[in-house]
Chains A and B, each alone.
Chain A
Amino acid sequence: MMARRLMHVLALLLALCSAPAMAHKPSDSYLTLKVSGQQVDGQWDIALRDLDMAIGLDADGNGELTWNEVRERHGAIAAYALARLKLAQPDGSACPLVIAAQMLDDHSDGAYAVLKLRARCPADVVTLDVDYTLLFDIDPQHKGLLRLEHGALTSTAIFAPDSAQQSLHVAGASRWRQFVDYVKHGVWHIWIGFDHILFLLSLLLPAVLVRRDGAWHGGAGLRPAVIDVLKIVTAFTLAHSITLSLATLGVLALPSRVVESTIAASVALAALNNIWPLFQRRRAVAAFGFGLIHGFGFASVLLDLGLPASSLLLSLVGFNAGVELGQLGIVALFLPLAFLARNTAFYRKAVLLGGSALILVIALVWLAERAFNLKILS
């Protein structure tokens, strides 16, 4: 008995010594909830390892968990998870959760079950009461990491056994903060929306040049170049602001496939115009015409972010301002460089013709992908 006791003593002692090396990842789940009016959409990532400990997934117990074994247990996983997450409104009325789909995802520490959640609350969500009790009975060191999204606003919360119930204010942030968030989204979306950038660049590339005798030459002064750029950018801005507003407010709607395909076509035409002049003198007009379609594209991003009814105008103005700021950034980068390089053959041949040809190819691929729903490049 004494010897056994002593062994225990030593085992614990060793455990103490190895503590510093124990920087391995503990159990966490990742919960995202996206609130929009009465609707709550979510995603919940729970480690397969934890689910196996809780309800057993590895049917044959060989330690190699296959997708079939996970799929077999989808019903049990759903029942287990849903019993441990409750959403409600402050008056106590529940927002019943359902699981729309189950998938997998790989995190840095292993594979996770992904539960796509959906809930509908009795009234528009202002405050959401979340009651989270996943795994706390098996592993009290488990934590639930929540990301709560509402429009462009994101807040986070951590659930642990001593903070299992939390009341989260959804519409709590200041209007200024909301505005700034939407401006940021606007800037970001023009920067990552390559089709818009390429369209704009295609129209701007010839701005520092003049076309004489069927060939390009460097333009004389900065003034005409600036005026040309100003005209194009203003026309594009005016046009996409109009349709962005109308589409966001629900006045106008176009099928997204038509919008996306036309955007691709507009990029192709703008690029082609630099190689084979189609509307050389009227690039501002083209910017306006196609700008109308690009506005629909921006609108779908904004609608995807979700718009709080209470601050619709604020978000719309913020997002649009962001798009314009992002666009100004591109112009501010482009114009000085292009102007300095305008008299070089490199600019006229490689940048204008070569660049336009490359843009044309990319745009045609986009067009094929979007119009025929193909996947050429991934």
Chain B
Amino acid sequence: MPTGTLRFDASEVREVLRMIESESLDVRAVTMGVSLRDTASESLERTSARIYEKLMRVADRLVATTAAVHADFAVPITTTRLSVTPLALVTEAARAARVVPAAHALERAAAELGVDYIGGFSALVEKGITPGDRALIDSIPEALATTARVCSSVNIASTRAGLNMDAALEMGRVVKAVADGTAKDGGIGCARLVTFANIPDDNPFVAGAMHGVSEGECVINVGCSGPGVVLSALKRLRASGEAHDLSTVAETIKRMAFKVTRAGELIGREVARRLGPPARFGIVDLSLAPTPAVGDSVAEILEAMGIEKAGGPGTIAALALLTDAVKKGGVMASSSVGGLSGAFIPVSEDAGMVAAARAGALSLDRLEGMSAVCSVGLDMVAVPGDTTAETLAAVIADELAIGVFNNKATGVRIIPVPGKRAGESVVYGGLLGEAYVQEVSRFRADAFVRLGGRIPAPLQALRN
């Protein structure tokens, strides 16, 4: 006999239902990080075979488990991913000049496991490039042209080490080569390549996901998607007629971020629990990650706060408020916060950002400014196909300097779209959305970039 002892009142349950069904609450990514350190060998062929075998063994129940957890908890899980040890560390011992077969092993395993992306085709070269790093970087264009799931990242700077400008020029060239190698798809290979400063070891989002050496054997990291939920809460606040100011706005965002983060943590812990050792729960990344879906946009949140178009005046202040409120709600919700935990401004994936770019409100300069305070970099920024490698290197250096000198992670995922000019657009589809080609300054930095060497670590590094 029902006794009327509901632990929640009906409005609380309805709120959860509303968040899931009409506000796009979901877990954006469940990413299993796997150590490949034990697959190293003196033969590239053997290493590649071991990589494939280990992934197939450790991750065989991953996709089925995330599907079952989705079914039990009703919160959609948009993507399931894999990340691995920065592969240059694993393939170094094989002393090969190119390591493309290792990328193919990653691709084959990801495809057979039913995972949409596998990150970690990576190298860490803040202070120097070993032969193994060189081999991996040289392999990136071919690896990305011949795979669909492999994601690559190269960390070329850190607050402790400074900024490796030789590597910056190298990455400018690699980005061009990747774009040219995938020219018939609008340079889409570049969507799977990021150049980083202060890359996190536990980022669940691609393309920068990798299983850092500090992460142990196998870990489940989660990234949530809550812009829709936050946007709806702000719209309700506005429509309520209650007096409110920016403090109220911050409080509202904080409360919603709490709920979104809790959903992510619950899902992550449950996936890890059902998989059992060696998998364990790692972190929730608090980043508010937008999708192309209507209403699931960070730009629209800024606009709901009263900014006419994302990128216009007030944007940086508003975004700083948003990012900070998300962090405060998130750390209350979970003690295991990590990854990037910043604002994502992927200019192609967020429909509001694309519209703002097209309207002329959101430029490269503006994006750089936003990343100084709150976001994690230049993400899915399309530029003209004739942008030179030197200019790309300088753009990368600018963005990474912001990270190095402010003790934060910044990354550059830039696409010089072959054959396109500023003002044109290219449709990538799916979660990648549509990119509007931005203008890049016509002034050159060739002489600066070609000086090479390292921008020394700043004083901020001396924290002892």
Q: Do A and B bind each other?
A: no
Chain A interface residues (CB < 8 Å from chain B): none
Q: Which residues of B contact A (CB under 8 A)?
A: none
